[in-house]
């Protein structure tokens, strides 16, 4: 394979990752940006104030004002910044002068039908444009109709589902009495059970409705999001939850001027009121000189409050958000892969050192990311899918780094760099993954999370690397060439196979341990070791594949393409267990649905 | 297809038909043994189980019409069927046979007498590190002494040696397999016990706070498969019942989703009177006569009148908060995360409370009255009985009216607080009796101020409604000051009377010296919850635990210790001593080569002989080695490469 092909691969990967990096609402997005309010003086005042130390309770997490602002702007506009403005300034401007944002075209139109009904000619509209639109009633009517179609479809599905179950079971009478509800009367189920023609007709009807519902789902969701965003423009103040609460039953925080202070909270409530008044006055009179002093005065009181997170934690969190270490690591892995690629093509050692150095930098960035998330959340960063991918990637890179340091031939380096880039770019850009911190679900609030999930992910990391080596083995044996990319010869087939085997030898016992400990946790939490839940079953299937591979390799000396293919198949099973079961609607309803946040 | 056992001639079969049958049975058993001990058969079974599992999840998962019942249906129609259990049982048998086979191999290798032949095998295979020492046959004792220091066991056959170390590692996989067998066996036993009704998988215990029950609800088998609602109930054994004292929920701030929830329950044995208090949460369960209770969920109860209240528990001397907890009347609750429990008689300020340590409920550490703001409350009063001559019946020990003469007037008054009955008490005109009568309300005290009869009445009928007017004096208990007077007739309610009662200070008689001076303040009504506990009965749990323990021990033995075997023999032709080092799985590694190198270096230093490592193939399939083994007839013929 030529270098040009390698480069085109890398370029394609960069282009794939590129759209996710565009997080700023820029001038190219719309021609209506003249309507966006901006006061450079006020922005300077906020940036120069210690506002970055303010903490806002955001979706159950104590976030810094910067992060909270980005979260809200993302919710409102789909972007974390507006036209290069400081997010904190934008957020506070929306809180204290919402009327100025009423005409700003910052709300994205996510569905062409919504744009068509509203008569919008661009991708962005203002809240005023939507609220005062003469076609608003038509849009609401269309959304209501789409919602009704969905409700009809769901009702029909429930009815057919019930009929099918009644037909499957021996005791139909029991099944009928067990399934019938007020919404789903017994007669309606019985009608489908007794009349096959009717059942077929309903199935046909549902199939035809399914297309319509799927088509309308995106429209309905886009409309609902647009209405929510319109309400957000005027209601941003609801999100300025910055008054800490010492201790009560729920521990809720408050907006300035709201709630009743508990014992000892009077001072911070008063300080919040003064800050609120100062900010309101500053925005109203465009007189920002008092803002830094007001913020500092509030922080003087608030930072003594026991519920306020320590300063160093806020600083680390801000640094984490600013650095975006996993995205940086993804870029560095990419560059490292290019360095190693050039090394294999030109065969010059300095190029390998460049690749190794970039790999090392990427690993440091990744380590910072994993360590920061561990420090901030107080538990192993494995509580949602984003964290689990980044953690697994970190373990895989640790293993690969060890191999590379020992062999120093760039083989493990290039394989791991490409794998690291793909994993981190995927984790950051997949829309299902939420990169934010989220409160831990009640059932995950256990030391078993640190043991069971961590063990599983370490094994996944070893299997991911093993799959890379197995794939290289298959590629090399298929082409019959020692040199994979047209450059210098790399690992022999035997060495490639040996690495695959060793990595599976590392991963398999850890996977076994992880599954076993998971069963013990299931017994503790749910009262049974094994329930054939999809996640459990697919973990078992994965274990079978690697058990077969390992035993046949160890005891029978089974090697070659089939053995390598088994290893790749094993990793496919890992991906199904890890991602497929969590995201694919086929596997919904299991007890392991923790991938999405609270 | 040739069905004969290799190495045996068909001509050797007996002529007697009975013996032939027995011989055939023997052969069938032997053949079955060979099939079951083979790894290939084990792999075949594993692949089959894997394929069925894929079908079980994907086949049913992809059937959208099953909706939320995909998993129960897959369980019922695949994973909990006799044929899947049979498949697992077959695998269990294979695992047993192969484990036995491997165990016998592992153990017998320790006493292997034919090691000369195996030495030749490894040497000929060329897959293991090899070395030669220039040692004559007479100095074999010296080599043996050298090996003894480095290896655990050493066997000698003339001038050939066989040494081993890391024997635990060799036995580890066997123990892992034995543990897996225990787990699989437990699974089989569970399948059988389930069919006998000895297993409960989906039981539910649902009780509200302050209430008790001894019933566990369980879905009827088929309804369970479809997530249905038809249930049956069974009692907790030994007549035990469980009272839910407190349900505690902590939410994530501002979003309302639960961060933690737990139930404080007491298990009451009515026969012995023994009461045990336990706390359950999602990761801490409770075992009771074979039933395992797990915190599964909760629901809010809509009570018309408050039955639980929030209490702020503080250290009275410092004012520092210990915790905020909710409690119902007369149900002990745990105070926050401390080891202290509290019991209050009622929610109202002024109600008595007691605090005790979890380990000794009998010893009251602090007692007092609950403080808190009563606020402006609306009271009404009603005289329900009037006895002109109040006396206690000495036999019945009940109040009776001894006559119509007003010799000892007493009236029974009901107080309604915000429309609800609050207290019922007797008021006396006699000062001494009035002084010893115990006030019912913690805040105010009622006194009988006056009894007014119509001035023009010739004979007063005290029991006639509207005839006699009673005047009650409402006195603040803490100060004795009158809050006002309430006039009313028999069987009539007084006009609403609002008292703006200020905050009541909590009182306590704890011991400040030992930190047991608690103050308890009422914060108002609290939400009452219904706790949902899942209940399972899994008789095989102990064996699964044991199996998991055995697996872990086996894994530790496998990975923490490294097995190595060393074969050594004297080659008469070259006059040199050959050594070959064999790791656990028969394949060479750099580590084993280094270990052999170190041995050669030590031999050079201590025995003063020459020695060198010989070249060997890094990796070679076992199959090739086996073929090599066949070609070697006489190991003595091996010469150095």
Q: Interface pTM (ipTM) of the complex?
A: 0.75
**Interchain contact, B324 vs A512, CB within 8 Å:** no
Q: Which of residues 426-485 of A touch B (CB under 8 A)?
A: 439-443, 445-446, 448
Confidence of residue A348 (pLDDT cuts 50, 70, 90): confident
Percent of chain B with pLDDT over 70: 80
Give per-residue pLDDT as tens, A192-248. Answer: 888 888 888 888 888 888 888 888 888 999 999 999 999 999 889 999 999 988 755
Residue A15 has pLDDT above 60, yes or no: no
Q: Provide the pLDDT for residue A23.
A: 46
Greater confidence (B72 vs A485) lies with: B72
**Closest Cα of chain B to A270: distance in Å?**
21
Residue B465 has pLDDT above 70, yes or no: yes
Confidence of residue B629 (pLDDT cuts 50, 70, 90): very low
Greater confidence (A410 vs B5) lies with: A410
Confidence of residue A338 (pLDDT cuts 50, 70, 90): very high
**Closest Cα of chain A to B274: distance in Å?**
26
Give per-residue pLDDT as tens, A53-81. Answer: 899 998 888 888 988 999 999 999 988 88
Q: Provide the pLDDT for residue B434.
A: 78
Q: Which of residues 310-329 of B touch A (CB under 8 A)?
A: 310, 319, 321, 324, 326
Residue A544 has pLDDT above 50, yes or no: yes
Residue A20 has pLDDT above 50, yes or no: no
Tell me the DSSP string of A427-481: HHH-TT---S--PPPGGG-SHHIIIIIHHHHHHHHHHHHHHHHHHHHHHHHHHT-
User: Which residue in B has a C-alpha nearest to residue A240's C-alpha?
Assistant: B254
**Closest Cα of chain B to A426: distance in Å?**
25
Tell me the DSSP string of A299-333: HHHHTTSTTSPPHHHHHHHHHHHHH-HHHHHHHHH
How many CB pairs (< 8 A) connect A and B?
194
- Identify the H or E element spanning A334: helix A325-346
Give per-residue pLDDT as tens, B511-539. Answer: 655 656 788 888 878 889 999 998 988 88
For Cα atoms A440, A441, A445, give the angle at the middle one, nearest 5 degrees: 70
Give per-residue pLDDT as tens, B576-592. Answer: 888 888 766 555 566 77
Q: Provide the pLDDT for residue A39.
A: 84
Confidence of residue B640 (pLDDT cuts 50, 70, 90): very low
Contact between residue B578 and residue B130 where contact means Cβ atoms under 8 Å apart: yes
User: Which residue in B has a C-alpha nearest to residue A534's C-alpha?
Assistant: B57
Residue B51 has pLDDT above 90, yes or no: yes
Q: Provide the pLDDT for residue B376.
A: 60
Contact between residue B410 and residue B426 where contact means Cβ atoms under 8 Å apart: yes
Give per-residue pLDDT as tens, B361-386. Answer: 778 888 888 887 666 667 888 988 88
The arithmetic mean of pLDDT across residues B313-324, rounded, is 78
Residue B4 has pLDDT above 90, yes or no: no
The arithmetic mean of pLDDT across residues A489-513, rounded, is 86
| For the ranges A264-268, A361-365, A548-552, the one whose mean pLDDT is highest | A361-365
Q: Is A207 on the interface with B (CB under 8 A)?
A: no
Residue A395 has pLDDT above 90, yes or no: yes
**Interchain contact, B294 vs A526, CB within 8 Å:** yes
**Closest Cα of chain A to B184: distance in Å?**
12
Q: Provide the pLDDT for residue B1.
A: 38
Q: Provide the pLDDT for residue A12.
A: 46
Residue B633 has pLDDT above 60, yes or no: no
Give per-residue pLDDT as tens, A70-127. Answer: 999 999 998 888 888 899 999 999 999 988 898 888 999 989 999 999 998 888 899 9
Greater confidence (A488 vs A372) lies with: A372
Q: Provide the pLDDT for residue B197.
A: 79
**Interchain contact, B228 vs A446, CB within 8 Å:** no
C-alpha A147/C-alpha B33 separation (Å) is 64
Q: Provide the pLDDT for residue A591.
A: 59
Residues in B closer than 8 angstroms to A169, CB to CB, are 222, 225-226
Lowest mean pLDDT among B58-67, B310-319, B378-387: B58-67
Q: Identify the residue among B98, B255, B333, B589 best suited for mutation to test binding to A, counting A beta carbons within 10 A and taking the highest.
A: B255
Q: Which of residues 30-89 of B touch A (CB under 8 A)?
A: 39-40, 42-43, 46-47, 49-50, 53-54, 56-58, 61-62, 64-71, 73-75, 77, 79-80
Residue B285 has pLDDT above 90, yes or no: no
C-alpha B277/C-alpha B290 separation (Å) is 18
User: Which residue in B has a C-alpha nearest to residue A586's C-alpha?
Assistant: B61
Confidence of residue A266 (pLDDT cuts 50, 70, 90): confident
Q: Which of residues 390-429 of A touch B (CB under 8 A)?
A: none
Q: Which of A305, A366, A294, A370 is nearest to A331 (CA)?
A: A366
| For the ranges A366-370, B24-28, B248-252, the one whose mean pLDDT is highest | A366-370
The whole-model pTM stands at 0.69
The arithmetic mean of pLDDT across residues B438-456, rounded, is 77
The arithmetic mean of pLDDT across residues B307-332, rounded, is 82
The arithmetic mean of pLDDT across residues B38-47, rounded, is 92
Extract the tokens encoding B89. Answer: 């049982």
Task: Output phi, psi for B219, to 5 deg.
Answer: -65, 145
Confidence of residue B506 (pLDDT cuts 50, 70, 90): low
Question: Of B56, B66, B319, which is closest to A537 when you measure between CB atoms?
Answer: B56
C-alpha B578/C-alpha B563 separation (Å) is 20
Extract the tokens encoding A338. Answer: 């290019």
Residue A484 has pLDDT above 50, yes or no: yes
C-alpha A151/C-alpha A212 separation (Å) is 12
Lowest mean pLDDT among B379-383, B597-601, B626-630: B626-630
Residues in B closer than 8 angstroms to A207, CB to CB, are none
Give per-residue pLDDT as tens, B168-182. Answer: 887 888 888 889 889
Residue B624 has pLDDT above 50, yes or no: no
Give residues with Cβ within 8 angstroms of A341, minimum separation 6: A3, A6, A7, A10, A355, A414, A485
To 10 degrees, what angle do helices A385-407 and A454-479 make?
Answer: 50
**Closest Cα of chain B to A252: distance in Å?**
5
Lowest mean pLDDT among A269-278, A350-359, A491-500: A491-500
Q: Is A252 on the interface with B (CB under 8 A)?
A: yes
Average pLDDT, chain A: 83
Average pLDDT, chain B: 79
Residue B18 has pLDDT above 70, yes or no: yes
Give per-residue pLDDT as tens, B108-140. Answer: 765 655 666 665 655 555 567 788 898 888 888
Greater confidence (A16 vs A250) lies with: A250
């Amino acid at each position: 394979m030529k270098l040009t092909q390698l480069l085109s691969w890398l370029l394609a990967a960069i282009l794939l990752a590129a759209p996710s990096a565009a997080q700023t609402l820029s001038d190219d997005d719309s021609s209506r940006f003249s309507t966006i309010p901006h006061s450079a003086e006020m922005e300077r005042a906020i940036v120069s104030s210690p506002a970055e130390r303010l903490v806002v309770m955001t979706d159950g997490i104590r976030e810094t004002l910067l992060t909270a602002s980005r979260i809200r702007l993302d919710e409102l506009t789909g972007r974390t910044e507006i036209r290069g403005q400081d997010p904190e300034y934008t957020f506070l401007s929306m809180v204290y002068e919402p009327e100025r944002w009423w005409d700003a075209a910052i709300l994205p139109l996510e569905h062409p039908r919504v744009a068509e009904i509203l008569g919008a000619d661009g991708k962005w509209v203002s809240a005023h444009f939507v609220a005062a639109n003469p076609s608003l009633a038509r849009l609401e009517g269309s959304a209501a109709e789409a919602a009704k179609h969905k409700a009809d479809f769901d009702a029909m599905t429930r009815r057919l589902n019930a009929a099918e179950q009644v037909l499957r079971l021996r005791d139909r009478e029991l099944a009928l009495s067990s399934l019938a509800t007020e919404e789903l009367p017994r007669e309606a189920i019985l009608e489908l059970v007794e009349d096959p023609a009717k059942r077929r007709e309903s199935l046909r009807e549902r199939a035809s409705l399914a297309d319509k519902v799927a088509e309308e789902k995106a429209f309905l969701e886009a409309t609902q999001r647009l209405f929510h965003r319109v309400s957000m423009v005027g209601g941003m103040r609801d999100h300025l939850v910055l008054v800490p609460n010492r201790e009560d039953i729920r521990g809720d925080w408050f907006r300035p001027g709201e709630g009743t202070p508990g014992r000892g909270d009077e001072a911070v409530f008063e300080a919040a009121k003064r800050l609120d008044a100062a900010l309101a006055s500053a925005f109203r009179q465009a007189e920002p000189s008092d803002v830094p002093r007001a913020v500092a005065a509030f922080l003087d009181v608030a930072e003594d409050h026991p519920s306020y997170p320590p300063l160093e934690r806020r600083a680390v969190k801000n640094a984490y958000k600013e650095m975006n270490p996993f995205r940086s690591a993804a870029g560095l892995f990419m560059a490292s892969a290019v360095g190693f690629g050039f090394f294999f093509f030109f065969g010059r050692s300095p190029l390998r050192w460049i690749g190794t150095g970039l790999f090392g930098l990427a690993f440091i960035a990744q380590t910072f990311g994993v360590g920061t998330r561990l420090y901030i959340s107080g538990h192993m960063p494995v509580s949602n899918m984003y964290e689990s991918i980044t953690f697994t990637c970190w373990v895989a890179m640790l293993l690969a780094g060890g191999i590379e340091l020992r062999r120093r031939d760039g083989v493990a380096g290039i394989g791991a760099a490409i794998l690291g880039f793909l994993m981190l770019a995927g984790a950051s850009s997949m829309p299902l993954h939420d990169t934010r911190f989220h409160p831990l679900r009640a059932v995950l609030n256990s030391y078993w999370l640190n043991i069971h999930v961590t063990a599983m992910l370490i094994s996944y990391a070893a299997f991911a690397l093993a799959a890379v080596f197995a794939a290289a083995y298959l590629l090399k044996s298929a082409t019959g060439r020692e040199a994979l990319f047209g450059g210098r010869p790399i690992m022999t087939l035997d060495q490639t196979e040996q690495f695959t085997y060793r990595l599976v030898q590392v991963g398999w016992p850890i996977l076994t341990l992880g599954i076993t400990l998971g069963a013990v946790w299931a017994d503790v939490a749910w009262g049974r070791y094994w329930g054939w839940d999809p996640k459990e079953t697919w973990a078992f299937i994965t274990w079978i594949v690697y058990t077969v591979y390992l035993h046949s390799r160890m005891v029978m000396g089974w090697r070659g393409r089939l053995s390598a293919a088994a290893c790749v198949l094993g990793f496919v099973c890992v991906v199904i267990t890890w991602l497929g079961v969590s995201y694919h609607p086929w596997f919904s309803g299991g007890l392991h649905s923790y991938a999405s946040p609270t | 297809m040739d069905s004969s056992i290799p190495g045996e001639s068909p001509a050797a079969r007996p002529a007697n038909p009975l013996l032939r049958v027995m011989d055939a049975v023997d052969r069938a058993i032997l053949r079955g043994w060979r099939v079951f001990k083979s790894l290939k058969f084990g792999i075949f079974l594993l692949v089959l189980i894997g394929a069925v599992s894929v079908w079980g999840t994907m086949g049913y998962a992809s059937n959208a019409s099953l909706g939320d019942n995909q998993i129960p249906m897959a369980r019922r129609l695949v994973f909990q069927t006799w044929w899947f259990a049979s498949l697992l049982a077959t695998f269990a048998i294979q695992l047993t046979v192969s484990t036995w086979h491997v165990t016998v191999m592992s153990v017998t290798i320790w006493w292997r007498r034919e090691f000369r032949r195996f030495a030749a095998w490894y040497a000929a295979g060329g897959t293991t590190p090899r070395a030669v020492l220039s040692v004559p046959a007479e100095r074999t004792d010296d080599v043996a002494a050298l090996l003894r220091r480095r290896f655990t066991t050493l066997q000698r056959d003339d001038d050939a040696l066989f040494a081993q170390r890391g024997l635990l590692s060799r036995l580890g996989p066997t123990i892992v397999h034995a543990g897996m067998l225990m787990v699989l066996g437990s699974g089989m036993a569970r399948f059988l016990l389930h069919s006998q009704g000895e297993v409960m998988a989906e039981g539910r215990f649902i009780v509200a706070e302050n209430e008790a029950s001894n019933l566990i609800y369980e879905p009827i088998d088929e309804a369970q498969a479809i997530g249905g609602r038809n249930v049956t109930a069974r009692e907790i054994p030994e007549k035990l019942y469980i009272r839910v004292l407190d349900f505690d929920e902590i939410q994530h701030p501002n979003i309302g989703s639960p961060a933690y929830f737990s139930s404080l329950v007491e298990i009451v044995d009515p026969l012995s009177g023994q009461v045990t208090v336990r706390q359950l949460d999602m990761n801490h369960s409770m075992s009771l006569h074979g039933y395992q209770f797990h915190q599964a969920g909760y629901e809010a109860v809509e009570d018309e009148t408050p039955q639980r209240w929030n209490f702020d528990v503080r250290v009275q001397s410092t004012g520092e908060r210990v915790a905020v907890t909710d409690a119902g009347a007369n149900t002990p609750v745990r105070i926050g995360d401390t080891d202290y429990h509290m019991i209050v008689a009622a929610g109202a300020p002024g109600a008595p409370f007691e605090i005790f340590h979890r380990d000794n409920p009998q010893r009251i550490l602090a007692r007092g009255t609950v403080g808190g703001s009563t606020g402006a409350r609306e009271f009404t009063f009603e005289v329900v009985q009037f006895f002109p001559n109040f006396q206690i019946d000495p036999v019945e020990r009940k109040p009776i009216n001894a006559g119509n003469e007003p010799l000892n007037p007493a009236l029974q008054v009901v107080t309604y607080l915000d429309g609800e009955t609050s207290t019922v008490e007797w008021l006396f005109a006699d000062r001494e009796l009035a002084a010893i009568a115990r006030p019912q309300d913690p805040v105010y005290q009622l006194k009988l101020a006056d009894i007014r009869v119509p001035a023009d009445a010739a004979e007063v009928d005290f029991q006639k409604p509207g005839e006699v007017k009673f005047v009650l004096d409402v006195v603040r208990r803490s100060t004795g000051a009158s809050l006002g007077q309430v006039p009313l007739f028999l069987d009539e309610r007084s006009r609403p009377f609002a008292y703006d009662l200020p905050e009541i200070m909590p009182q306590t008689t704890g011991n400040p010296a030992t930190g047991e001076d608690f103050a308890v303040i009422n914060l108002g009504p609290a939400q009452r919850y219904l706790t949902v506990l899942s209940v399972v009965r899994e008789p095989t749990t102990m064996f699964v635990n044991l199996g998991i323990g055995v697996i872990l021990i086996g894994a530790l033995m496998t990975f923490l210790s490294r097995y190595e075997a060393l074969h050594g023999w004297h080659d008469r032709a070259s006059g040199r001593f050959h050594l070959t080092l064999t790791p656990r799985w028969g394949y060479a590694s750099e580590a084993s080569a280094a270990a052999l190198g170190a041995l050669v270096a030590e031999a050079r230093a201590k025995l003063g002989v020459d020695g060198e490592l010989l070249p060997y193939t890094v990796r070679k399939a076992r199959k090739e080695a086996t073929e090599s083994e066949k070609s070697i007839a006489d190991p003595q013929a091996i010469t150095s490469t």
